[in-house]
């Protein structure tokens, strides 16, 4: 019977040792699984944050692009409106009565004292010759106004309606661009 007790004792200790090893294995496996789950959660959260950041960047790019398109459309509409106003102003100036044209041309001529020759369109030739003491240099293609030249021909002042209105339109476009760029 002594041997049976020893065998039982060895078997009991072996069983306890096996249970302890199994428990350690189970605990270690649970720890590994818990660590893996934690790592997986961290990876998922990092990916979510990266995706949210990418979405936000793309949204901001799309909004910026849309804002730029709106600004371009507004600028184009305002430019088109300025062009129509310019064309209408040229049309109105070209159709002024002779007395109104005379008044404007006199004012343009008064502002220039160093000129010796004057040019105008064909319609205003007789008017300019009548009101100006400058030598008449000939006709030029324009809707009205005058072009003045100094004695040696080095200075040419373009005071035609076309040129004066173009300068106003160009300044207006620059102001529009500055306003829309803010």
Q: In terms of domains, do 19 and 89 share one?
A: yes
What does the pLDDT read at residue 133?
87
Order of strands across the sheet with 145-149? 135-139, 117-120, 145-149, 156-160
Q: Which residues contact 118 (CB under 8 A, 6 or more apart)?
A: 109, 128, 132, 134, 135, 136, 137, 146, 147, 148, 149
Q: State residue 96's pLDDT score.
A: 87
- The one-character DSSP state at 123 is G
Sites in the chain below the pLDDT cut of 70: 1, 176-177, 179-182
pLDDT at 63 (0 to 100): 93
1 and 75 assigned to the same domain: yes
CB atoms within 10 A of CB 149: 19
Structure tokens at 54: 């990418």
Boundary-marking domain end, from 95, 116, 147: 95
- Residue 152 contacts residue 140 (beta carbons within 8 Å): no
CA distance 80 to 74: 10
pLDDT at position 138 is 92
- How many C-beta atoms surround the C-beta of residue 129 within 10 A? 13
Which of 60, 95, 130 is a domain's end point? 95
> What is the C-alpha separation between 166 and 170, in angstroms, rounded?
6
Residue 107 and residue 40 share a domain:
no
pLDDT at 3: 72
Q: What pLDDT is stored for residue 170 in this prediction? A: 84
Question: What CATH number is attached to the domain comprising 170?
Answer: 3.30.2320.30
Say if residue 156 is in the same domain as residue 87: no
Per-residue pLDDT at 57: 94
According to the model, what pLDDT value does residue 180 have? 60
Residues spanned by the domain of 62: 1-95
| pTM of this prediction exceeds 0.75 | no
Cite the DSSP H helix spans in 95-124. Answer: 98-110
Domain count, the chain: 2
Q: Is 77 exposed, middle or buried (0-12, 13-18, 19+ CB in 10 A)?
A: exposed
pLDDT at 181: 61
């Amino acid at each position: 019977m002594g041997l049976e007790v020893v065998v039982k004792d060895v078997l009991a200790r072996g069983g306890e040792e096996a249970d302890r090893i199994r428990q350690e294995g189970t605990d270690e496996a649970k720890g590994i699984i818990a660590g893996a789950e934690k790592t997986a959660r961290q990876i998922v959260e990092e990916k979510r944050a990266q995706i949210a950041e990418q979405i936000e960047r793309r949204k901001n790019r799309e909004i910026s692009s849309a804002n730029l398109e709106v600004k371009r459309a507004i600028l184009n509409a305002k430019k088109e409106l300025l062009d129509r106003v310019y064309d209408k102003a040229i049309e109105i100036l070209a159709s002024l009565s002779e007395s109104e044209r005379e008044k404007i041309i006199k004012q343009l001529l008064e502002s220039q004292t160093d000129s010796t020759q004057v040019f105008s369109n064909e319609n205003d030739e007789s008017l300019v010759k009548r009101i100006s003491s400058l030598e008449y240099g000939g006709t030029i293609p324009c809707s009205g106004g005058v072009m003045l030249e100094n004695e040696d021909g080095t200075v040419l002042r373009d005071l035609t309606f076309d040129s004066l209105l173009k300068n106003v339109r160009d300044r207006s476009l620059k102001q529009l661009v500055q306003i829309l760029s803010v």
